[in-house]
Structure 1
Amino acid sequence: MSRLICSLLIASLFTVNVFAQTLVSDTIPLTINEQNTIFVKAVFNRQDTFNLNFDTGTTELVLTNQTLKNRLKGTTKLYDTFYNLEIGSRSYQSKVYDAELTGHGTDGRFGWDLFKDKVVELNYDKGLMVVHERMPGQVINDNTYTRLAINYFDNVFTVQSSMIQNGVTSKDSFLFDTGYQRTAMLDNDLLQKAGFPVETMEEIKKVVMKGAKGNEVPVITSNLEKLMIGNYALQDVPVQQITGSKPMRGHDIHILGNEVLKRFNTFLDFTNKVIYMKPNKLYDVEYVEKKKNV
C-alpha cells in the first residue's frame, strides 16, 4: 500500500471518528414532580450543584433569591457576567438573573436558548432529557409524531394550536412553556377577538396565583371542550384565564403549559424550527384540577 493511500485512509478514519464524536447525544436524567415541574441536576460555576427547571418560556439562567443568598459557594455577579453551567456531560455559558420564585422543588431555571443549535428530546416514558446534535432519522420518519412549527419572537417561541368549544374553533399562537405548571393560560383579548364562547365554558373555580415576582394574579379555571396539539385532541381540559392582566404583558398570546406538554414525548428541533410530539404514558392521566373536584 502506497504512503499516499495509507495517509488518505488514516485521514478518512480520523474525519469519520471526529464526526461521530460530534454527533454523540448527551443523555441526562429528567425528573417531573407532582406540580408538573421538570428538572435536571446541573453544576453552576464548577462548584454548586442545583436542581434546575428546564423552562422553554425563558432564556439563560435564573436562580432564586434564596439560592443566590444561601446556596452559593462563591460570589456571583448578576446580569452581565457569563458563568459555566454543566448539564449532563456538556458545559454551557450563561449570564445569571434573579427571581423570587421558580418551579416547585427547584433552585432556579434555564432557558431553551442554551440549545439553540441543538435538538432537545424530552422523554417522559424513560425519564430522560437528551441533547442531540441533529434530529434522529427514526423520529422524522415516524408518522405517529405530530409536528408543530416554531415561531420565534422576543427570545421565546410559540406554536399554533386550536381550541374548540360549543362548535366554535379558534386557532391562535401559544407560548410553548414547560415552565408553566398548569395546562393553558388563555388571553382574554384573543378570546374576545375570536368571538370564542367563553360563557359556555363550565367554571371550575377561582383562585389567586403567584406570579414569577411573587405578585398576586386572580385566575378563573374553566373546562375547555377540546384542545388540539397538532393532530391530537385533548378532551375536557381545565384551562386558566387571568382576569386582571395578560398572560404576557404587551402581547396577545395564550400559554401552553406543562400539564399538557408532559403528555407527549417531544423533540425540540431549534435549528430547523419544528417540534415533534407523540403521546406517552401520561397522555390520559387526570388533570390536577379535575382531581380536586372528584
Structure 2
Amino acid sequence: MKYILALLLALISFRGSSQNKLPVINASSSKAKIYEQDNPVSNWNISPKIKLDIFTTGKLIKSKTVKFKTDIDSVSFRIGPGQQKDFIVLLNGKDSCLTRIQSPEVKNYSKLPVEIHDTIPFFVNRFNTNFLPVVFNNADTLILNFDTGATDISFTNDALKQKVKSHPELYNTLYGIKIGHQNYKTKIYDIQLAGNETDGLLGWDLFDGMIVELDYDHNQLIVHSKMPKQILHDSKYSKFKIRYIKNRPFIESEISQSGIKSKGWFLFDLGYQRTIMLDNDLLREARFPTEKMEVIKKVIMHGTRGNEIPVITANLETLKLGNFELKDVPAQIIEQNKPMRGVNIHFLGNDVLKRFNTVLDFQKNEIYLKPNHLYGTGYADQKKSGA
C-alpha cells in the first residue's frame, strides 16, 4: 500500500512539473518575426544578454493568436487581454533566451467610487493642430497635441532644450504629468517634430480605460470615468467600433469615385493635420480609379522623425463616415516613405475629424461622431473654383 501511494504521489508530481514546463523552440539566427492576428508582422531580435525579453501586443479587445517564428522553428499562443505567455528560445543549441509575449492590462475606470468629469481647454489652430495645456513634473507648462495616431508622451527636441527645465531621463523613468485636475504617470520620449505651435504629442493610451469627449463647439476636452447619459441618448451621434492595429485606433469608412466604392479601416489620427491620406497600394488592390481624381498639387511632407514623404493631393468625390457624407475632399495619396513602416493603411486626419464633436470610449472601444459648427467649412487644400 505504501509503495502504491508513493508511486501515485510521484506521478502527480511529474504531471505538475510537465504542465509548468515552458515550451522550447530552436533558432540558429538572432532574427525572428512575431505574427499578431489581424496585425502587420513585427521584427524581433533574440538576445541571450536580456534576462527576460518581453514583447507587448497592442490593446486587445478579445483573445487572438500570436505566433513567434525563428529561422527554423516556431511557437503559437492564444492570448487574451491582460494575459502573458512565456517560452524559451534556444539560440545555436546553447544560449537559452527566456521570452514573454504579453498583452496590456485591461483598464476600465467606470467603477471608481468618485466619478471623474474633468474639463480641459482644447483648441484647434490655423494649421489644424489641436492642442491643450499640461504641466510636466510640477515644473514645466507645455502645449501638447492630442494625437490618437500616437502612444505615450513625446516632447520635441526643441522643447526639451528650451522649455523643459526638469531634464527628464527619457524612455525608462516614470514622471508625473498634470492634465486638468488629474495627475498621470508616464514615460517620456523624444521626437523631432510635432504639430505646429506645440511642444510634443499626447498619445491616446494615457486615457485608456476612460472616455474622452472632444467638444469643438465649446473648446473643451473632457475626461470622463463614466459615460455621460446625455451622450448615450443623443441621436445625432453615429457610433463606430474601434479596431486596434499596431496599438492605434481604426474605424471603418468608405471612399467613392466615379461610381466605384471602397470600404476599409482608417486610422483615426487627430495628429494628422490634413484631411485623409490614402495608401496607393491599397487603392490598387481595391481597383480604385485614382486616375480619375483631379490632381490639386504635389508636395513633400515630413513625419515626426523628419523623414520626407512625397504626397499627391487629389480631389476625392465622396468620403463617408457612418451616415455622414463629405463631398469633394482633397485627399493625399502616398506611395513611398509611408508614416507607419511596413503597414499599408489609410488615415483620417484632423481637417476632417475637427468637423465632428467626438467621444472616444476607451472602455467599450467605440467612437461617437456628431457634426459641429465646422462641418460645412472649407478645407485647407481645397481645389480653387475655376482651377
**TM-score above 0.5, yes or no:** yes
Deviation string for 1:8-55 (max 9, x for gaps)? xxxxxxxxxxx8962130001101101111111000011000011100
Secondary structure of the residue that 1:191 maps to in structure 2?
A: helix
Kept in 2, the 8 Å contact 1:190–1:253? The answer is: yes
Indicate the residue corresponding to 1:226 in structure 2: 318
Kept in 1, the 8 Å contact 2:277–2:346? The answer is: yes
Indicate the residue corresponding to 1:237 in structure 2: 329
Indicate the residue corresponding to 2:308 in structure 1: 216
- Structure with a larger share of its residues in helix: 1
Q: Partner amino acid for 1:151?
A: R
1:187 to 2:279 alignment = yes
Q: Which has the higher contact order (CA 8 A, sep 6+)?
A: 1
Secondary structure of the residue that 1:192 maps to in structure 2?
A: helix
> 2:352 pairs with 241, 260, 263, which one?
260
Cα 1:138–1:217, aligned 2, differ >3 Å: closer, same or farther? same
> 2:370 pairs with 278, 287, 293, which one?
278
Quick one: distance in 2 between partners of 1:225 and 1:213? 32
Q: Partner amino acid for 2:372?
A: N
Indicate the residue corresponding to 2:255 in structure 1: 163
Kept in 2, the 8 Å contact 1:45–1:85? The answer is: yes
Indicate the residue corresponding to 1:6 in structure 2: none
Q: Partner amino acid for 2:285?
A: K
Kept in 2, the 8 Å contact 1:202–1:222? The answer is: yes
CA RMSD, aligned part only? 1.5
> 1:117 pairs with 170, 191, 209, which one?
209
Kept in 1, the 8 Å contact 2:193–2:305? The answer is: yes
Indicate the residue corresponding to 1:178 in structure 2: 270
TM-score, normalised relative to structure 1: 0.91
Cα 1:30–1:292, aligned 2, differ >3 Å: closer, same or farther? farther
Segment drifting more, 39-48 vs 150-159: 150-159
Q: Partner amino acid for 1:202?
A: E
Q: Partner amino acid for 1:170?
A: S
Indicate the residue corresponding to 1:74 in structure 2: 166
Indicate the residue corresponding to 2:232 in structure 1: 140
Secondary structure of the residue that 2:291 maps to in structure 1?
A: helix
Deviation string for 1:92-146 (max 9, x for gaps)? 1111110110000000111110111100000000000000112212211222100
Quick one: distance in 2 between partners of 1:44 and 1:201? 45
Gaps of 5+ in 1: 1-18
Deviation at 1:163, TM superposition (A): 0.2
> 1:65 pairs with 146, 157, 163, which one?
157
Kept in 2, the 8 Å contact 1:118–1:133? The answer is: yes
Q: Partner amino acid for 1:78?
A: L
> 2:116 pairs with 18, 24, 30, which one?
24
Kept in 2, the 8 Å contact 1:99–1:213? The answer is: yes
Q: Partner amino acid for 2:286?
A: A
Deviation at 1:247, TM superposition (A): 4.1
Secondary structure of the residue that 2:382 maps to in structure 1?
A: helix
Kept in 1, the 8 Å contact 2:309–2:338? The answer is: no
Quick one: distance in 2 between partners of 1:148 and 1:219? 28
Indicate the residue corresponding to 2:199 in structure 1: 107
Segment drifting more, 45-54 vs 210-219: 210-219
1:197 to 2:289 alignment = yes
Kept in 1, the 8 Å contact 2:303–2:339? The answer is: no
Deviation at 1:75, TM superposition (A): 2.1
Quick one: distance in 1 between partners of 2:339 and 2:307? 13
Kept in 2, the 8 Å contact 1:188–1:246? The answer is: no
Cα 1:247–1:214, aligned 2, differ >3 Å: closer, same or farther? closer
Indicate the residue corresponding to 1:8 in structure 2: none
Q: Partner amino acid for 2:155?
A: L
TM-score, normalised relative to structure 2: 0.69
- Which of the pair has more CA radius of gyration? 2
Deviation at 1:250, TM superposition (A): 1.3
Q: Partner amino acid for 1:35?
A: F
Within 5 Å, give how 1:84-103 maps onto structure 2: 84-103=176-195
Q: Partner amino acid for 1:94?
A: T
Deviation string for 1:224-265 (max 9, x for gaps)? 000011110000000101232334221121011000000000
